[in-house]
Homo-oligomer: A and B are copies of this chain.
Amino acid sequence: MVSIKEVAKQAGVAISTVSKVLNGYPNISRETRDRVNAAIKELNYIPNSIASALSSKQFGRIALILDPKRQTQAIDQIFMQYLLGALDKAKELKVEVETIFSSMIAGMSAEEITGYLRSKSVVGVVIYGLSKEDKVLQRLINEQQFAFVVVDAPIVNERTTSIGVDHEQAQYDVAKKTVLDDKCRKILYISGRRDGYVTEQRLKGMRRLVEDLDLTMTVRRGEFSELAARNIALKYAENKDVIVCASDLMAIGAMNALIEMDIFRPVCGFDGITLMGYVGKQMNTVRQDFYSISSRAIEEVKLLIDGGQGRKVTMPYSIVKMYYKDIIC
């Protein structure tokens, strides 16, 4: 392995000079800079990022904590977008990333996780889809030992930034559009899991809509499960005139139920996942750009690491109609 020392010898300069050239310090004559660069080329030298990190004490890695335990591929798509967005931005910002699936830290105490993260030189953490019930991670966030960015969880403190779309407003918007398009009055709302922060936000949006438009609403908990949503729809859809679901996956379950019951009701979802197209029906949904959200999350965690204040970041969303033909490729 060719090191900085050999480059220095080859170029006939001191090690520190090479280092300065490498890191773009100003006070280097063009001549020496050229000689050093020539030597680098010649020896095919590649700086050792490990040593560099150690020396500069700047080894701050960012951990991504993903929870893809729900084995539905609809979720996989979301997590892949999260990953892609994060890794691209990390490369751009030249920070190292440690991908952690929640199964890898399941059962660990807060101390153990702290130790694990510190042993990996992690200084910032992005948590995707934090559960309300996850007391361990919550405690980690409160301790403020790391910089945190939580996606879709309304937690903000000195060292914690919250990022995500405005779930309340988005749910309001998509449901309103669906309701108005079809002049509906009786809503069946299939909500998410109790332990998800977004669940109550979206529900709040629905409550506001019901009030604003003077509608009636029946709420049932679908747990973000396609099967649960399907069963709820089978049971309650008959005498409602629209079904609003807190996720695309549940919307698909509901729609399949309607097909089985051989009745038509407008349905709307939330997320904008591709799978939506596969049911062969058109429906409104909230589209979030998971890639951008994740990309921005990395920027935010970097800001925190560099001394920034935790804050709330709201990302844009749109209401779209998805249909098989638009998606197939």
Interface residues of A (CB under 8 A from B): 44, 46-51, 53-54, 59, 68, 70-74, 76-77, 79-80, 83-84, 87-88, 91, 97, 99-101, 103-104, 115, 118-121, 225-227, 230, 252-253, 256, 273-275, 278-280, 328-329
- Our pick among B47, B51, B68 for the contact of A80 (Cβ within 8 Å) is B68
B72 with A87: CB separation less than 8 A: no
A230 with B73: CB separation less than 8 A: no
**Top 10 A-B residue pairs of the complex, sorted by shortest distance between their CB atoms:** A73-B77, A76-B80, A76-B76, A76-B77, A46-B118, A73-B274, A227-B328, A46-B119, A46-B115, A50-B54
Interfacial chain B residues near A68, Cβ < 8 Å: 80, 84
Q: Shortest beta-carbon distance, A5 to chain B, in Å?
A: 15
B104 with A87: CB separation less than 8 A: yes
Please measure, in the bound complex, the distance between the C-alpha atom of A54 and the C-alpha atom of B49, giving whole angstroms: 10
Q: Shortest beta-carbon distance, A162 to chain B, in Å?
A: 25
**Copies of this chain assembled into the complex:** 2
B83 with A328: CB separation less than 8 A: no
Q: Shortest beta-carbon distance, A80 to chain B, in Å?
A: 4
Q: Shortest beta-carbon distance, A152 to chain B, in Å?
A: 19
Given contacts A71-B329, A76-B80, 9 further A-B contacts (CB under 8 A): A46-B118, A50-B50, A50-B54, A68-B80, A68-B84, A73-B73, A73-B273, A83-B99, A278-B278
Please measure, in the bound complex, the distance between the C-alpha atom of A266 and the C-alpha atom of B132, giving whole angstroms: 46
Please measure, in the bound complex, the distance between the C-alpha atom of A51 and the C-alpha atom of B97, giving whole angstroms: 18
Please measure, in the bound complex, the distance between the C-alpha atom of A49 and the C-alpha atom of B72, giving whole angstroms: 35
A253 with B328: CB separation less than 8 A: yes
Interfacial chain B residues near A100, Cβ < 8 Å: 87
- Our pick among B48, B83, B119 for the contact of A47 (Cβ within 8 Å) is B119
Please measure, in the bound complex, the distance between the C-alpha atom of A182 and the C-alpha atom of B100, giving whole angstroms: 46
Please measure, in the bound complex, the distance between the C-alpha atom of A328 and the C-alpha atom of B72, giving whole angstroms: 8
Interfacial chain B residues near A252, Cβ < 8 Å: 278
B73 with A226: CB separation less than 8 A: no
A73 with B72: CB separation less than 8 A: no
Please measure, in the bound complex, the distance between the C-alpha atom of A280 and the C-alpha atom of B257, giving whole angstroms: 12
Interfacial chain B residues near A73, Cβ < 8 Å: 73-74, 76-77, 273-275
B49 with A121: CB separation less than 8 A: yes
18 A-B residue pairs with CB within 8 Å: A44-B115, A46-B119, A48-B119, A48-B121, A49-B120, A50-B53, A50-B54, A73-B73, A73-B76, A76-B80, A80-B80, A88-B101, A227-B329, A253-B328, A275-B275, A275-B278, A278-B278, A278-B279
